[in-house]
Amino acid sequence: MKPVSKRQWIKFGVATVLYILFCLWMQNGWLLLGILLLVDIYLTKFIPWNAWKKTKNPHLLSLFGWIDDIFFALVAVTFINLFVFQNYQIPSSSLEKSLLVGDYLFVSKLSYGPRVPNTPLSFPLVQNTLPVLNCKSYFDWPEWGYKRVKGLGKVQRNDIVVFNFPAGDTVATLVQNPDYYTSVAMYGREAVRMNKQTFGDIIYRPVDKRENYVKRCIGMPGDSLSVRDNQVYINGKKAVNPKNMQFNYFVETEVPFTEKMFRKWGVSKEDYMPYGQPSVVTDERTLAFLGFAPNSTGAYNMVYHFPMTEEALELVKKVPSVKKVIIEPDVLAGTMYYPVDYDNGWSRDNYGPIWIPKRGATIELTPENVALYARCIRNYEHNALEQKEDGVYVNGEKSDTYTFKYDYYWMMGDNRHNSADSRSWGFVPEDHVVGKPIMIWLSLDKDRSWIDGKIRWNRLFRWVDNIK
């Protein structure tokens, strides 16, 4: 072994201090064994890490140089993605007009504390499926339990939060929308599991490999939440509504609207169609049901259906050709709401009251509570829950109560009539929280071309906390 230079000792000392700090942050003493690797890399060099640099073949030297750079970059990016921040693209309109389809975000893992991966053996920078090969991107073993290291803060009310989809633990590979549990409620468990041609294989996904969702945190652990005529109430008091919250409306007009008008109101092409297309209401029975009446000629005026913020609503009402504006009634929203296998009469616009579980809180295992919290007890906190003739059994023991070990959150979209959120699939456990969007670094308008304003320059490098 060659003598160790002072420079090598300095490099080893700096790397070791940084690595020990990382081990302390991860709260895992086993990681300290990695210091042995640092000893060899910087001091003893028993393993010839840089042997490739001795080759005299310029082509091999160049090739190995590229491989070395790519490997280092991949390790660095994976570390940043796991523990610091990751890129996220807004895929749907559920948070419009706060976050728009086509917004690209930096999601901070440090805001709430990064999670130690549940699936440590997985392909880097891929969520759950390898592109092209269309197979799992991770190994089922080993699977580690939930652990979150210290971060800069905790989830606060009205935070926009990225989280793993809670109902994504069990997935029908060919029908992922609606989720597996809703499909079972609609068609029956056997019909879903036996009909592979329609639903595909039924697979399980660990927490960190479930799809990423982004919503606004409306309800905190221990809150009682309800929705009455589209207004959210927290512990009996009106919640503060997001500035850009929007609902669906039917708008009667004597003159067709133009694309320029829709653009002014912030309505994308996917949310409306030109005259004569399916999203323009033309069925007379529907129009009569909604409260529209024929005009002086005996025919109905044109009626559009699209979402609007309060600001856009006021602009539309001022258009001279507009005769009537009606908010989309609850009866048109559907009937499948959480819990999907228990009929409590709740709907999209009139939901609850429902209590949000809090770590350490205890509930009575009444039939209603079992229906509301069975998924928390079984799927998220991993207990065996059975209802028998003589009562409820948890892990084989008869129980009258249950104490939660996690905090839970209630997430909703600002686009309230076009958001599959906690009203559809229930609570978000703390171990599903991924991070907090902090900045929009790119925003692309899907309705425009590159030479016609595709890049939304006014949204670039905006802090998400400044978007209310």
Instruction: State the pLDDT at residue 4.
Output: 87
Instruction: State the pLDDT at residue 341.
Output: 86
Taking the C-alpha atoms of residue 110 and residue 86, their distance in angstroms, rounded to an integer, is: 11
With beta carbons less than 8 A apart as the criterion, state whether 341 and 370 touch: no
Q: Taking the model in full, what pTM does it have?
A: 0.93
Smallest CA-to-CA distance from 358 within 468, 460, 220 is with 220
What is the arrangement of strands in the sheet containing 246-253, beginning at the earlier edge strand? Answer: 302-309, 246-253, 322-327
Instruction: State the pLDDT at residue 261.
Output: 94
Taking the C-alpha atoms of residue 50 and residue 53, their distance in angstroms, rounded to an integer, is: 6
Taking the C-alpha atoms of residue 276 and residue 256, their distance in angstroms, rounded to an integer, is: 10
Type and span of the H or E element at 351: strand 351-355
Length of the chain: 468
For the chain, how are helix, strand and coil distributed in percent, rounded to 5? 30, 25, 45
Pairing state of beta strands 237-238 and 385-388?
A: unpaired
Going by the DSSP 8-state scheme, the letter that residue 97 receives in this structure is T
Instruction: State the pLDDT at residue 274.
Output: 59
Instruction: State the pLDDT at residue 279.
Output: 62
Mind listing the pLDDT tens digit for each residue in 397-417?
999 999 999 999 999 999 999
Taking the C-alpha atoms of residue 215 and residue 89, their distance in angstroms, rounded to an integer, is: 13
Type and span of the H or E element at 271: none
Instruction: State the pLDDT at residue 282.
Output: 73
Taking the C-alpha atoms of residue 141 and residue 159, their distance in angstroms, rounded to an integer, is: 34
Smallest CA-to-CA distance from 305 within 228, 418, 413, 412 is with 418
* Spatial CB neighbours of 273, under 8 Å, sequence gap ≥ 6: 279, 280
DSSP secondary structure letters along 390-417 = TEEEETTEEESEEE--S-EEEEE-SBGG
Instruction: State the pLDDT at residue 12.
Output: 95
Strand partners, 122: 138
With beta carbons less than 8 A apart as the criterion, state whether 42 and 11 touch: yes
With beta carbons less than 8 A apart as the criterion, state whether 358 and 407 touch: yes
Q: pLDDT tens, position by position, for the chain (468 residues)?
A: 678 899 999 999 999 999 999 999 999 899 999 999 999 999 998 898 888 888 888 888 899 899 989 999 999 999 999 999 999 999 989 999 899 999 999 999 999 999 999 999 999 889 999 988 889 999 999 999 999 999 999 999 999 999 999 999 999 999 998 999 999 999 999 999 999 999 999 999 999 999 999 999 999 999 999 999 999 999 999 999 999 999 999 999 999 999 999 999 999 988 886 555 556 777 888 899 999 999 999 989 999 999 999 999 999 999 999 999 999 999 877 778 999 989 889 999 999 999 999 999 999 999 999 999 999 999 999 999 999 999 999 999 999 999 999 999 999 999 999 999 999 999 999 999 999 999 999 999 998 999 988 999 999 999 998 886
Taking the C-alpha atoms of residue 449 and residue 459, their distance in angstroms, rounded to an integer, is: 17
With beta carbons less than 8 A apart as the criterion, state whether 408 and 376 touch: yes
CB atoms within 10 A of CB 421: 22
Cβ-in-10-Å burial (0-12, 13-18, 19+) of 378 comes to middle
Taking the C-alpha atoms of residue 94 and residue 420, their distance in angstroms, rounded to an integer, is: 7
Mind listing the pLDDT tens digit for each residue in 423-456?
999 999 999 999 999 999 999 999 899 998 899 9
